[in-house]
């Protein structure tokens, strides 16, 4: 199968600790790198994960709280120092370009590459990126400011040609693309050869959903139904549920309820509050409801 990986660069929340970096992730799809959020230290963790800056062309910012975007200016500056020439696209809710304009003007007034900001609305799911192999769609979340998660979805791939059958029926090369896409083959004599004899199904399309930061929000379940991997914030343990509600965050138990009800294949929890020196309690509370749960940690790589 083609590469589809998630790299955790940071999985802490707003208050710095010696255990975790603020939120940042890299999604690697066929060696194209997509960054989700860019907290402080993201570029350092990028290096530690042995990823290549040259393959990063799109950054998705979920919302404009500092622990999700304070690392962005440093990363932009580093890419400038490296002499980057390729465009860098930054997708975010409204306001990021205005916020960064004076800092970019002061620190990076001679840019070696073009920086392009794309604003998106946060109230309805919207496709904000698309190429030949995948789409990125926003997932409306509810936080203390406009906020979205992101759904990375592979496009359906053509069927696999069964070479022996193609040779047996002497199918011309110019017919192969049609057959890959589901067409039957009609011989010169008029015999119809079923597509099922000539091809085998392609691998199922894979999906990754990122949901941070948000209050417990069952309305996202339909959009993330059946994803292969769900990252959901689990800032608090159940004993701190009132604090979670007050700050528009989620408990580990609530994250697991979302995963269970959405019938996802695997749950990864993160965005841990600094109050927990050991996140085992969060893993235990989530696993009791959704057994296939894993704690995020820096430099973790999960194959989807």
DSSP label of 156: P
Tens-digit pLDDT profile for residues 266-292: 999 999 999 999 999 999 999 999 999
User: Considering the entire predicted model, what is its pTM?
Assistant: 0.91
Tens-digit pLDDT profile for residues 34-92: 999 999 999 999 999 999 999 999 999 999 999 999 999 999 999 999 999 999 999 99
Is the alpha carbon torsion for 108, 110, 115, 121 positive or negative? positive
DSSP label of 201: P
- Do residues 230 and 174 touch, judged by C-beta distance below 8 A? no
Helix, strand, or coil here: 161? strand
Domains located in the chain, CATH noted: 4-157+203-303 (3.60.15.10), 160-200 (no CATH)
Q: Is the pLDDT of residue 108 over 90?
A: no
Task: For strands 267-270 and 293-295, give the pairing.
Answer: parallel
**For position 202, what pLDDT does the model report?**
84
- Do residues 281 and 275 touch, judged by C-beta distance below 8 A? no
Distance CA 126, CA 265 (A): 24
**For position 37, what pLDDT does the model report?**
98
Cβ of 104: how many Cβ atoms within 10 Å? 17
Average pLDDT, the chain: 95
Q: Is the pLDDT of residue 1 over 80?
A: no
Strands (E), the chain: 4-10, 24-29, 32-38, 56-60, 88-93, 115-120, 127-130, 134-140, 148-154, 160-161, 185-186, 192-193, 199-200, 207-211, 229-233, 267-270, 293-295, 301-303
- Do residues 142 and 112 touch, judged by C-beta distance below 8 A? no
**For position 215, what pLDDT does the model report?**
98
Helix, strand, or coil here: 150? strand
Task: Give the range among 8-22, 61-75, 167-181, 247-261 with minimum mean pLDDT.
Answer: 167-181
- Catalytically annotated residues: 67
Give the list of residues 6+ apart from residue 158 with CB closer than 8 angstroms, or none: 177, 180, 181, 202
């Amino acid at each position: 199968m083609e590469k589809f990986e998630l790299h955790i660069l940071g999985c802490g929340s707003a208050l710095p600790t010696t255990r975790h970096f603020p939120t940042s992730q890299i999604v690697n799809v066929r060696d194209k790198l997509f960054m989700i959020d860019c907290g402080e230290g993201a570029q350092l963790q990028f290096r530690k994960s042995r990823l290549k800056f040259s393959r990063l062309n799109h950054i998705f910012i979920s919302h404009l709280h500092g622990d999700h975007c304070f690392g962005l200016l440093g990363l932009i500056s580093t890419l400038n120092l490296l002499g980057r020439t390729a465009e860098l696209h930054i997708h975010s809710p409204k306001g990021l370009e205005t916020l960064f304009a004076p800092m970019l003007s002061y620190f990076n007034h001679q840019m070696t590459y073009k920086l392009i900001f794309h604003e998106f609305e946060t109230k309805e799911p919207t496709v904000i990126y698309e190429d030949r192999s995948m789409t990125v769609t926003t997932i409306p979340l509810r936080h203390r400011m406009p906020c979205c998660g992101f759904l990375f979805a592979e496009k359906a791939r053509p069927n696999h040609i069964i070479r022996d059958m193609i040779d047996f029926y002497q199918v011309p090369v110019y017919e192969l693309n049609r057959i890959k896409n589901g067409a039957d083959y009609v011989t010169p004599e008029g015999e119809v050869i079923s597509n099922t004899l000539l091809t085998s199904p392609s691998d199922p399309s894979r999906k990754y959903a990122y949901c941070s930061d948000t209050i417990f929000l069952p309305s996202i379940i339909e959009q993330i139904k059946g994803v292969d991997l769900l990252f959901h914030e689990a800032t608090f343990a159940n004993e701190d549920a009132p604090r979670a509600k007050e700050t528009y965050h989620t408990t580990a138990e609530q994250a697991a309820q979302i995963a269970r009800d959405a019938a996802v294949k695997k749950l990864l929890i993160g965005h841990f509050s600094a109050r927990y020196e050991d996140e085992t309690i969060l893993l235990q509370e989530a696993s009791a409801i959704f057994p296939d749960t894993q704690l995020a940690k820096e430099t973790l790589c999960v194959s989807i």
